[in-house]
């Protein structure tokens, strides 16, 4: 809608995970380095923790794209599952035939597969579970037991558990102490500070093809940080709406006023406990600023 007006090749603030837009903040660099270390050095279990919207899924996708070794990967994103569902998903992701197999037979099929991978000289397959804080104790214990597949000192299956801070609290529970003690590598994502927020916005504009990296004024960038707390997902939501506001007003730059209008329309002063998304986000995009944009496009009736 506004890309041509601002000289962009694509939308810079889409909220879908895209490793192309990954901004290497200090905590993101450290977390990515920890994940790479854990996989390449076959440490077994790795834990990645971060608040909602800090970029865990994007970082995981960057890990998979950036590994310069061949690793068979099973990525699990649906975590309200039982033990058989877990095995089915793992075998399905690894392309292991499993139709009609019982739970015991699926475990044996996985064992045979990972042994064959080791014997071929490949890295151990990698199981990544996103939103792992939603897993119940039974599933977490099943994952621990699956990592008992080993030959000598070599683990035949590596695991990355990624989730919100509740994951750490869950792993600290007495009944899961065996799993918690196996976390050989731990990484944490933090919100961006004010300088990182400004650099993040400009980075995404650059990746999107912006010729002018000063589309947002300095005051606008400061307001973005103060209204979002440096949470990347919220930064994307606010900046997207601020660009729409500026486009609707036929302006070439995004001022502090457009950012404030976006934050107010998106209800950031009424943020819920559901992961930081603003209350009333869906209807907010149909308010005053979007009406202006529709008028400019000739789409209002």
SS3 206: helix
Percent of residues, the chain, with pLDDT higher than 90? 63
SS (H, E, C) 63-91: HHHHCCCCCCEEEECCCCCCHHHHHHHHH
Beta bridge partners of 49: 163, 188
Residue 79 confidence class, pLDDT cut points 50, 70, 90? confident
Cα gap 23→29, rounded to integer Å: 9
Of 189, 166, 187, 204, which Cα lies nearest the Cα of 22?
Answer: 204
Is pLDDT of 274 > 50?
Answer: no
| Same domain for 95 and 133 | yes
* Poorest-pLDDT segment among 27-41, 69-83, 261-275: 261-275
Domain end position, chosen among 140, 169, 189: 189
Cα gap 157→105, rounded to integer Å: 17
**For residue range 182-202, what is the model confidence (pLDDT) as tens digits?**
898 999 999 999 999 999 999
Of 74, 51, 58, 65, which Cα lies nearest the Cα of 22?
Answer: 58
| Same domain for 199 and 182 | no
| Same domain for 96 and 47 | yes
- The rounded mean pLDDT for the chain is 86
pLDDT of residue 284: 37
Q: Is 175 buried (19+), middle (13-18) or exposed (0-12) by CB count in 10 A?
A: exposed
Cα gap 114→126, rounded to integer Å: 10
pLDDT of residue 16: 87
| Same domain for 133 and 46 | yes
pLDDT of residue 187: 94
Residues in the chain: 301
Domain around 49 = 26-189
Is 21 a member of any domain?
A: no
Cα gap 107→166, rounded to integer Å: 29
Cα gap 35→76, rounded to integer Å: 17
**For residue range 207-263, what is the model confidence (pLDDT) as tens digits?**
999 988 889 999 999 999 999 999 999 999 999 999 999 999 999 999 999 999 999
Q: Which residues contact residue 174 at a Cβ distance below 8 angstroms, ignoring those fewer than 6 apart? A: none
Is pLDDT of 148 > 60?
Answer: yes
pLDDT of residue 67: 81
| Same domain for 259 and 206 | yes
Query: Radius of gyration (Cα) for the chain, nearest Å?
Result: 22
Of 291, 204, 286, 280, which Cα lies nearest the Cα of 239?
Answer: 204
Cα gap 47→129, rounded to integer Å: 10
* Pairing relationship of beta strands 150-151 and 154-155 according to DSSP bridges: antiparallel
| Same domain for 236 and 121 | no
Is 159 a member of any domain?
A: yes
Is pLDDT of 21 > 90?
Answer: yes
| Same domain for 129 and 58 | yes
The mean pLDDT of 93-121, rounded to a whole number, is 91
Domain end position, chosen among 161, 189, 217: 189
The mean pLDDT of 271-298, rounded to a whole number, is 42
Q: Is the CB of residue 179 less than 8 Å from the CB of residue 171?
A: yes
| Same domain for 118 and 255 | no
Domain end position, chosen among 189, 215, 232: 189
Token reading at 215: 């589309």
Total domains in the chain come to 2
Cα gap 182→173, rounded to integer Å: 14
Is pLDDT of 78 > 50?
Answer: yes
Q: Is the CB of residue 187 less than 8 Å from the CB of residue 30?
A: yes
pLDDT of residue 143: 92
Is 90 a member of any domain?
A: yes
| Same domain for 185 and 199 | no
């Amino acid at each position: 809608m506004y890309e041509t007006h601002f000289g962009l090749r694509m939308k810079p603030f889409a909220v879908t995970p895209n490793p192309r837009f990954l901004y290497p903040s200090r905590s993101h660099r450290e977390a990515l380095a920890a994940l790479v270390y854990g996989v390449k050095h076959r440490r077994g279990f790795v834990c990645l923790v971060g608040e909602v919207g800090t970029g865990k899924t994007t970082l995981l996708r960057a890990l998979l794209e950036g590994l310069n070794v061949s690793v068979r990967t099973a990525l699990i994103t649906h975590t309200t599952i039982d033990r058989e569902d877990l095995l089915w998903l793992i075998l399905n992701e690894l392309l292991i035939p499993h139709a009609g197999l019982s739970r015991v037979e699926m475990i044996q099929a996985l064992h045979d597969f990972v042994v064959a991978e080791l014997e071929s000289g490949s890295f151990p397959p990698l199981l990544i579970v996103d939103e792992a804080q939603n897993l119940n104790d039974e599933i977490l214990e099943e994952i621990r037991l699956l990592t008992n597949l080993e030959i000598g000192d070599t683990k035949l299956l590596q695991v990355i558990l990624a989730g919100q801070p509740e994951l750490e609290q869950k792993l600290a529970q007495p009944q899961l102490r065996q799993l918690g003690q196996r976390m050989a590598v731990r990484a944490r994502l933090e919100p961006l500070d004010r300088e990182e927020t400004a650099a993040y916005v400009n980075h995404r504009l650059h990746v999107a093809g912006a010729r002018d990296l000063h589309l947002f004024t300095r005051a606008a960038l400061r307001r973005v940080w103060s209204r979002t707390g440096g949470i990347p997902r919220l930064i994307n939501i606010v900046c997207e709406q601020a660009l729409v506001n500026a486009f609707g007003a036929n302006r070439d730059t995004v001022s502090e006023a457009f950012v404030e209008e976006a934050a107010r329309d998106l209800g950031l002063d009424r943020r819920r406990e559901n992961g930081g998304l603003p209350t009333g986000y869906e209807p907010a995009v149909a308010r005053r600023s979007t009406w202006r944009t529709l008028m400019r496009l000739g789409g209002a009736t």
